[in-house]
Structure formats: structure tokens, C-alpha cells
Amino acid sequence: MSTVMWKQYKKTAPFMQTGILCVSIIAYFATGRQLLAALTFFAVMEVGTVIGALWGYTMKFRQERASFKRQYGLPLERRR
């Protein structure tokens, strides 16, 4: 599971990391150059990115599982 999740994370990593860095820099200057506030923004967004990758993986897994069930039916379902 974690290997597939990291593959999902790597797909969006360059864009997300750039965005996180920009927002953290903006937060640093918007808060009057308070490093702790900017680091908090950075940490929360990093955790959110990993959670988002995990959520994306589970959604993809559920979609593939539903597709498999539609194609082959349930394991104990009678075949006509």
C-alpha cells in the first residue's frame, strides 16, 4: 500500500512543493517575519499533502475494486 501511495504522491510532488514553499514564504512576510508561523504553515501543508496522497490512493483503489466487481461479480454470486 505505501509504495503505491508514494507513487501517487510523486505525481503531484513538484507542483505541490512549489506551492507549499510559495505559501510559506508569503506567510512569513504576512505575519511580520515570524518564522514559527511560517514553519507551522509549512508543516501543516506537508502533512496535508501526504494525507491527500493517501486519500487519492484509497479512492483509486475503491474505483478499481468496484470495476472488478462489476466485471466479474461478487465471489459467492450465482452465475446464470
Residue type, 15: F
Residue type, 54: L
Q: Where are the domains of the chain?
A: 2-68
Residue 18 has φ and ψ, to the nearest 5°, of -65, -45
Looking at the predicted structure, is the pLDDT value of residue 62 above 70? yes
Which range, of 1-5, 7-11, 55-59, 60-64, averages the lowest pLDDT?
1-5
pTM of the model: 0.70
The string of pLDDT tens digits covering residues 3-34 is 777 777 788 888 989 999 999 999 999 999 99
% residues pLDDT > 70 (the chain): 85
Output 78 or 40, whichever has higher pLDDT: 40
